[in-house]
Amino acid sequence: MRKLTLLGALLALFALGLSALVACGGDDDDDAAPFPGSDDQSSSGDDDDDGTSDDQDSDDDDGDSDGFDFGTGTASVTIGDKTYEFDLSTDFVVCRDVFGAIQAAGPSVDGDDVTFDAWIPPTDWESYSDNRYDPPNISVEDDVNNVKWVADPGRSEILENFPEESRIDSYDKDGLKASGTATFVDEYALLRGDAPESV
């Protein structure tokens, strides 16, 4: 019993690893952007007076990936030994291309009070001198188990004492497909005053 309690406490405070399958719906091969010029990108090279420079292709041509798959209307995220499944195909969700980044949010497929939210920019997002992209982030808010798993380096700028380890560690993105690993922190535990250990 003590071993289970300790394991449960560690998982409730900090989890490492992400495995996901996510899909927005529509044709996986559809590269059309929803906004005029949204497939135009500028590099962080020599800045012109207007803040842009030569066109640059994104480095997101790495082929199909195992983690996220935006195109079929579902998402699956595994944190520790818990797998969450989400529906991204209803009117109550967001799953779209936003100037080359993927924005997705949706509810649990089984009707539980669990929601998913993700922002996945191109893998070369830091190379843009105009700061057009926020860092990649994912959160899973599980009100059934009173946890909110967050992988977001920006949270440490907003919430005092939020561990900087909370982030997407690595990912690949190909159009509306992405996969990767992340370090999650239970934001609810921190808000209750618990201090998670680094795992």
Let me know if residue 80 belongs to a domain: yes
Least confident of 12-26, 64-78, 126-140, 142-156: 12-26
Contact at 8 Å (CB) between 135 and 149? no
Let me know if residue 142 belongs to a domain: yes
Let me know if residue 40 belongs to a domain: no
Which amino acid is located at 82 in the chain? K
More confident residue, 56 or 129: 129
Look up the pTM and report it: 0.65
SS3 162: coil
With cut-offs at 50, 70 and 90, classify the pLDDT of residue 137. Answer: very high
For the chain, what percentages of helix, strand and coil (3-state, to nearest 5) are there? Answer: 10, 35, 50
* Separation between Cα atoms, residue 42 and residue 58, nearest integer Å: 10
User: Any idea what the Cα angle at residue 77 is, between residues 75 and 80, rounded to 5°?
Assistant: 170
Let me know if residue 112 belongs to a domain: yes
With cut-offs at 50, 70 and 90, classify the pLDDT of residue 196. Answer: low
Please name the helix (run of DSSP H) or strand (run of DSSP E) that holds residue 95, with its range, or none: strand 94-98
Q: What is the pLDDT of residues 163-185, one digit of tens each?
A: 889 999 999 988 777 788 999 99
Let me know if residue 199 belongs to a domain: no
User: Domain count of the chain?
Assistant: 1
Least confident of 3-17, 73-87, 93-107, 124-138: 3-17
Let me know if residue 20 belongs to a domain: yes
Let me know if residue 34 belongs to a domain: no
Q: What does the pLDDT read at residue 157?
A: 86
* Separation between Cα atoms, residue 159 and residue 11, nearest integer Å: 21
More confident residue, 129 or 57: 129
Looking at residues 183-193, what average pLDDT do you find?
90
Task: Work out the number of other CB atoms within 10 angstroms of the CB of residue 180.
Answer: 22
Domain that holds residue 96: 14-27+65-191
Query: 58, 50, 32, 65: which is closest to 126 by C-alpha?
Result: 58
The residues that bridge with 82 in the sheet, in sequence order, are: 79
